[in-house]
Amino acid sequence: VIEQIVGEWRAEILAAMPEDAEPEEMLRKRARATMYFLRGYPSLMRLIRRQFMTAPSKESRFFIENFMRINFEEQRKILQRGIIEGTFRPVDPVLFFASYVSTGDLYTFARPILQNVFGMRESDDRLFARFVDHSVDMLLDGIIARKPSKTRR
């Protein structure tokens, strides 16, 4: 069942990315697709971590090699292209990938805090859309190449 769900996730990522898009748009769409997909499976990443990442097995190797590494390599190439084109500043692609994958869990963790601590009672769809925009901006704005700011005198 998990392989089927992960296959659907992969299809969502690929469907979200136009081949002719610029690197920033590609990474934004990948992150958005991941967050929207994982919203439907709030325990999936926890299960994946427990079943596939911590236990050495034939199944865990299959998942790592046929999903995680493929996605990482695609993302690494997009990052590299963006760095060469001057869109992104140099970043560690491994740490960026770990941050990207983690965005899928953020809303599951943050929703009770937003609602119970801060009283954000707006519709879940609206709150989720705002949260996705915020999270994707935080993830991608952190790697955008910026012109150096002028030193004050």
Structure tokens that stand for 67 in this block: 């999903």
Three-state DSSP class for 89? coil
Taking alpha carbons only, the member of 67, 71, 37 closest to residue 52 is: 67
Q: How confident is the prediction along the chain (153 residues), in pLDDT tens digits per residue?
A: 667 777 787 788 878 877 789 999 999 998 999 888 888 877 777 777 776 666 677 777 777 777 788 889 999 999 999 999 999 999 999 999 989 888 878 888 888 888 889 888 766 788 889 899 999 999 999 999 976 545 444
pTM for this predicted structure: 0.80
Three-state DSSP class for 60? helix
